[in-house]
Amino acid sequence: MSAIILASGSKVRADLLRAAAIDFEIVRPLVDEEELKVSLRDQGLSPADQALALAEGKCLSVARIRSGIVIGADQILCFKDKAIDKAANVDEARTRLKAMRGKEHQLLSGVVIARDGEIVWRNQAVSRLWMHDFSDDYLTGYLERCGEQALSSVGCYQLEHEGVRLFSKIEGDYFAILGLPLLDVLATLRNLGALPR
């Protein structure tokens, strides 16, 4: 079977594959994400297409130097029709969460799989999330408990941990919200013969 490579430094994506008993290795992509995001926005790509293009850039940067099956993924948060980047610090996270409380936002996920340097599968997923109108006191305590960890997620929350308490409703694939539409990825890996059927 072909080697499976995750072109991502995301701990959550790696944890999802490990939990599914996938044998894989991590190779961090050689992509300047910030520069690529600026370029994609300048081209006028929609946030969903930006997420897919970022995933493709990560995937191909690794697939060009490694044989086997390479998985690249990315995610963009869209709030009030605007693509949002990760918060730079806890104060920015507080401001962002205050702006989003009581409102809806979307997480737009893109995943690309290449085999021996050629893209064989692309996937986009849209998840809609509604935050409840949490209090300032709860938000302060949440950020104190999470600290810098809140900055690892574009939404300043980790749904698999206490961040789930910020929400009143979620529509979409739970795994895609975490960063990888796992069931679709597993089906593709089976179709490629990288996993037993």
Q: Give pLDDT tens digits for 114-139.
A: 999 999 999 999 999 999 999 999 99
Q: Which one, of 144, 140, 141, 182, lies nearest residue 160 by Cα?
A: 182
Percent of the chain with pLDDT over 90: 81
Tokens describing residue 136: 């300032």
> Is the Cβ–Cβ distance between 95 and 143 less than 8 Å?
no
Helix, strand or coil for residue 146? helix
Q: What angle do CA 81, 7, 92 make, to 5 degrees?
A: 40
Confidence of residue 1 (pLDDT cuts 50, 70, 90): low
| Alpha helices by DSSP H, the chain | 11-19, 33-42, 47-63, 90-100, 136-146, 174-178, 182-191
Q: Is the predicted pLDDT of residue 192 greater than 90, yes or no?
A: yes
Q: Which pLDDT score is estimated for 2?
A: 74
Give counts: helices (H), strands (E), the chain: 7, 7
Q: Which CATH class is domain 4-191?
A: alpha beta
Catalytic residue, chosen from 15, 23, 42, 74, is 74
Q: Which pLDDT score is estimated for 68?
A: 95
Q: Which pLDDT score is estimated for 157?
A: 92
Tokens describing residue 20: 């599914």
For the chain, the structural domain boundaries read 4-191
When the pLDDT of each residue in the chain is averaged and rounded to a whole number, the result is 94
Q: Is the predicted pLDDT of residue 88 greater than 80, yes or no?
A: yes
Rounded to two decimals, what is the model's pTM? 0.92
Q: Is 18 exposed, middle or buried (0-12, 13-18, 19+ CB in 10 A)?
A: exposed
Is residue 133 part of the annotated active site? The answer reads no
**Least confident stretch, 14-18, 34-38, 189-193:** 34-38
Chain centre to alpha carbon of residue 24 = 18
DSSP character at residue 15? H
The dihedrals phi and psi of 103, each to the nearest 5 degrees, come to -130, 170
